[in-house]
Amino acid sequence: MEKETFYITTAIDYVNGLPHIGHAYEKIATDVIARHFKQRGKDVFFLTGSDEHGIKIQKTAAENGIQPKEHCDNTSNEFKKAWKKADIDYDRYIRTTDADHEKVVQWAFEELLKKGDIYKSSYTGLYCAGCECFLSPRELDENGCCPIHQKKPEEVKEENYFFKLSKYKDAIAEHIKKNPNFILPQSRANEILNQLKDIEDISVSRSKESVSWSIDVPSDSEQGIYVWIDALTNYITGVGVLDDKEKFNKYWPCDVHVIGKDILKFHSIYWIAFLMALGIELPKSIFAHGWITIDETKMSKSLGNVISIDTLMQTFELQDADAIRYFLMTTASFGKDGNYSDEEFKSKVNADLANNLGNLLNRTLSMLVKYFDGKISNRTMDADLLKLCNETVSDVERKFDYYEVTEAIEKVITLVDAANKYVNDKAPWSLAKTDLNECEKVLYSVLEVMKYASVLLYPVIPNIAQKIYTQLGFEGEIKGIKLADLKTLTIKEGQIATKDTISPVFLRLDSEIAKDKKK
């Protein structure tokens, strides 16, 4: 039987820096997916959070003259504030410094130690602080640098605990091959299968002398549990693996881990091996998205091109983050790299949200007021448009089944385009002079399309969707409307609009009307 619950997670953000739109891209996409599955009647649990241990945080805190925990408290609060502005509706924000998580980390480590999957050994290796893992010479570029962070790794020699990752590589490879939707987009599976061929055991602790800011190994006070057992187990802590078995059994296995492509290896190899070793069921899917560049350049503190949600909202004087959410979800197919520029942002949101979606609603309601005093009596829907509405709902669901967020949005915009063409072809302004009954049918049909579009786009642009929903004469919150309700949710007879209730649902950026409103 199909699971009635839906458990979705983001990667947890490392709190060594402040949140930017690269972080926001992942959180918004995950939020969109979570909201969509709620619309399908699923009991959704959405987990996000922050990764708060490690050498970089230890050093940054020391440089600022504060304790690591204080640094983590301050920065994680900045992430929470950013996600509130971006309308991220998560169920839990987990921190790896949370007491229940530290308990799970120590439990997992000791379980693996008991089973013989963790052992102690002296080791000399090349350690990349950015990746927070040891790299083999084969993984470095031609200059001997980490290909992601473009820095030479440090040679480290110490006695650590190691996890027998190599023991599980064949089982992981078999699982990937047998489950084509385990790694999404599917094109990334071969990359992981190739990495598995050369996989070696990995260090899962560091000497407390080297890294003091870590969770202690319970049976060895000189060692701290480091990074991947600490970070990755947040996904089972979040649904109560030790403290709430009923909740864990309800939501686990995770339906999808949404992560950046740069950490796919750790999720599809390390995490899967840990779960296999612990005897815990594997997640259904891992979706690796691309990066957001700024003017075709990767974001970098040194280049000074790091942009935050807050910066964009202030720059464009946005009341909410809908335009940002929409742009980030449509700038590139989810899974591929996208790009942000001010001009692309303005052009995209003006075209789709103001000109296409907003203008269609505004002119249709205006004609309803002009010709029918804002009242509807003839609720006859154009058969072709109704068919397209129902097909669009099915298409959107199919796209979300594979987390193809961008393509799902495109399906809805195609529906809106069809409604715009329908208005232009039918010319209700002419019909008002010759056939009022047909004119009303045209206007009603377009408003019905707007009903479908508002509900289908709600996960992406929740505030604009609510404005459309309200202007269509519906009461209450669009948030509670399920996709299954669309066929029976009808625009009421009688007055739904007046001249005073019609207003733009999205003001064009840099438009004269927007400037007037600012004044």
Cα–Cα distances (Å) from 175 to 260, 293, 300, in that order, read: 21, 33, 37
How far apart CA 245 and CA 60 sit, in angstroms, is: 37
Does the pLDDT at position 310 exceed 60? yes
Q: Confirm if 173 and 196 have CB atoms less than 8 A apart.
A: yes
**What is the tens place of the pLDDT at every residue in 165-196?**
999 999 999 999 999 999 999 999 999 999 99
Does the pLDDT at position 519 exceed 60? no
Higher pLDDT, 384 or 226: 384
Active site (annotated) includes residue 298: yes
Active site (annotated) includes residue 131: yes
Active site (annotated) includes residue 80: no
Q: 3-state DSSP call for residue 398?
A: helix
pLDDT band at 296 (very low <50, low <70, confident <90, very high): confident
Query: Considering 84, 177, 301, 387, which one is annotated as catalytic?
Result: 301
Strands 286-289 and 183-184: parallel
CATH of region 347-518: 1.10.730.10
Percent of the chain topping pLDDT 70: 97
Active site (annotated) includes residue 389: no
Which phi-psi region, left, alpha or beta, contains residue 104 (left: φ > 0; alpha: ψ -120 to 50)? alpha
How far apart CA 282 and CA 252 sit, in angstroms, is: 9
Query: Considering 84, 298, 370, 487, which one is annotated as catalytic?
Result: 298
How far apart CA 169 and CA 175 sit, in angstroms, is: 10
Buried b (16+ CB within 10 A) or exposed e, 256-270: bbbbbbbbbbbbbbb
Q: What is the pLDDT of residue 291?
A: 93
Q: 3-state DSSP call for residue 274?
A: helix
Does the pLDDT at position 285 exceed 70? yes
Report the alpha-carbon angle 397-399-403, nearest 5.
110
How far apart CA 456 and CA 467 sit, in angstroms, is: 14
C-alpha torsion sign, points 248, 253, 255, 256: positive
How far apart CA 14 and CA 509 sit, in angstroms, is: 33
How far apart CA 446 and CA 191 sit, in angstroms, is: 46
CB atoms under 10 Å from CB of 335, counted, come to 21
**What is the tens place of the pLDDT at every residue in 48-105?**
999 999 999 999 999 999 999 999 999 999 999 999 999 999 999 999 999 999 999 9
Q: Quote the pTM value.
A: 0.93
Query: Considering 69, 115, 149, 499, which one is annotated as catalytic?
Result: 149
Q: What is the pLDDT of residue 512?
A: 46
- Secondary structure (H, E, C), 35-85: HHHHHCCCEEEEEEEEECCCHHHHHHHHHCCCCHHHHHHHHHHHHHHHHHH
Active site (annotated) includes residue 72: no
* Packing angle of the helix pair 405-426, 383-401 (nearest 10 deg): 170
* Interval 399-409 mean pLDDT: 98
How far apart CA 307 and CA 262 sit, in angstroms, is: 20
pLDDT band at 511 (very low <50, low <70, confident <90, very high): low
DSSP state of 150: -
Q: What is the pLDDT of residue 513?
A: 45
Does the pLDDT at position 269 exceed 80? yes
Active site (annotated) includes residue 439: no
Q: Confirm if 368 and 374 have CB atoms less than 8 A apart.
A: yes
Higher pLDDT, 144 or 373: 373
How far apart CA 303 and CA 216 sit, in angstroms, is: 37
Query: Considering 53, 80, 101, 131, which one is annotated as catalytic?
Result: 131
CB atoms under 10 Å from CB of 212, counted, come to 12
Query: Considering 133, 146, 254, 389, which one is annotated as catalytic?
Result: 146
Q: Measured between alpha carbons, how far apart are the two ends of the chain, in Å?
A: 57
Query: Considering 53, 80, 101, 128, which one is annotated as catalytic?
Result: 128
Q: Confirm if 79 and 50 have CB atoms less than 8 A apart.
A: yes
Residue type, 106: Q
Active site (annotated) includes residue 301: yes
Query: Considering 23, 101, 169, 411, which one is annotated as catalytic?
Result: 23
Does the pLDDT at position 203 exceed 60? yes
User: Residue 4, exposed/middle/buried by CB under 10 A (0-12, 13-18, 19+)?
Assistant: exposed
**What is the tens place of the pLDDT at every residue in 440-457?**
999 999 999 999 999 999
- Please enumerate in sequence order all residues whose Cβ is within 8 A of that of 363, keeping only pairs 6 or more positions apart, or say none: 423
